[in-house]
Amino acid sequence: MVVTTTPLKVDTPRVEAPRPVSSVDREELETRNVQQLDETFRYRAGVLSGHYGSENNTDWFKVRGFDLSTYQDDLRIYREGFYQ
């Protein structure tokens, strides 16, 4: 799994980002045995993640109170529900 985010929506070196940037490397993913995207961010400051309601297969997370768009192969993944 490759997860890529950028603070400015353009390719910018982390050192030039105006805010702190946190990253998750492969070693951490393997150590924590991450199976879903929401599990990736569970121990990051400012990130709320988990399952929504009784549906356990939904990757759901907010960063500093805002919903984020999730993309796979350059296509947006639509997460159905009123929490979107």
Query: How much is the mean pLDDT over the chain?
Result: 71
Cα separation, 9 vs 27, in Å, equals 26
pTM of the model: 0.50
Phi-psi region of 50 (alpha: psi -120 to 50; beta: other; left: phi over 0): left
Mean pLDDT on 29-58: 76
- Cβ count within 10 A of residue 67: 12
pLDDT for the residue numbered 81: 52
Residue 84 — very low, low, confident or very high, per pLDDT cuts 50/70/90?
Answer: very low
Q: Record the tokens describing residue 43, joined without a space.
A: 């121990």
pLDDT for the residue numbered 58: 61
Q: From start to end of the chain, where are the E strands?
A: 47-52, 55-63, 66-67, 70-72, 75-77
